[in-house]
Amino acid sequence: MVESIDNTIKYISLKKISNPLGDVWHAIKSSDSEYVGFGEAYFSFIEKGKIKGWKKHKKATLNLVVPVGEIKFFAFDEDQEDKNSKLSSFTLSEENYFRLTIPSGIWLAFKGLKERNMLLNVSDYSHDPSEVEAIEIENFPINLND
């Protein structure tokens, strides 16, 4: 199932395969249309009530999955002409098990909602500070605590 929110961000339901010994949960395959190459896979934890961001990747596409806890993602597309469609949000969790694909050029922040929250990011670039722009939460034009 592909749910295209717009031409860029994708929010896709992932399969969980039940097994009495322990389930298997899909993350991403090379045959998925959102897969654009492999640079790095890493985990990022986010404490309850805390927000990481804002960051914008100039080159990298992020593929985000949340197998532990619950994380709310905020995506800000500064190139959208319609002010109301600049900001979108997506909540991923163990229960609401989706993959969120964030293309380059989109600002991203995310907030931890449970006691322990962890995302997997499969990106087509390895960590490279030169391809990342960052703006502190308090200096960003959007206030997430409103």
Secondary structure (DSSP) of 44-110: EE--BT-EEEEEEESSPPEEEEEEESEEEEEEE-TT-SSGGGSEEEEEEESSS-EEEEE-TT-EEEE
Q: How far is CA 32 from CA 1, 28, 80, 88, 101, in A?
A: 11, 7, 26, 23, 11
Reading the block at residue 34, the tokens are 């959102």
Residue of the chain from 6, 40, 78, 133 that contacts a copy of itself (CB under 8 A): 40
Part of the chain binding a copy of itself (CB under 8 A), chosen from 2-10, 32-40, 73-81, 100-108: 32-40
Residue of the chain from 38, 86, 142, 144 that contacts a copy of itself (CB under 8 A): 38
CB-nearer residue toward a copy of itself: 68 or 132: 68
User: Does 25 help bind a copy of itself (rule: CB under 8 A)?
Assistant: yes
Do 17 and 25 meet the contact criterion of CB atoms below 8 Å apart? yes
Residue of the chain from 85, 126, 134, 141 that contacts a copy of itself (CB under 8 A): 126
CB-nearer residue toward a copy of itself: 85 or 126: 126
Binding mask 42-71 for a copy of itself (x = CB under 8 A): xxxxxx--xxx--------------xx---
Residues 134 and 124: their CA atoms lie apart, in Å, by 19
Residue of the chain from 2, 4, 24, 58 that contacts a copy of itself (CB under 8 A): 24
Residues 71 and 48: their CA atoms lie apart, in Å, by 9
- Per CB under 8 A, residues contacting a copy of itself are 19-31, 35, 37-47, 50-52, 67-68, 112, 117-118, 120, 122, 126-127
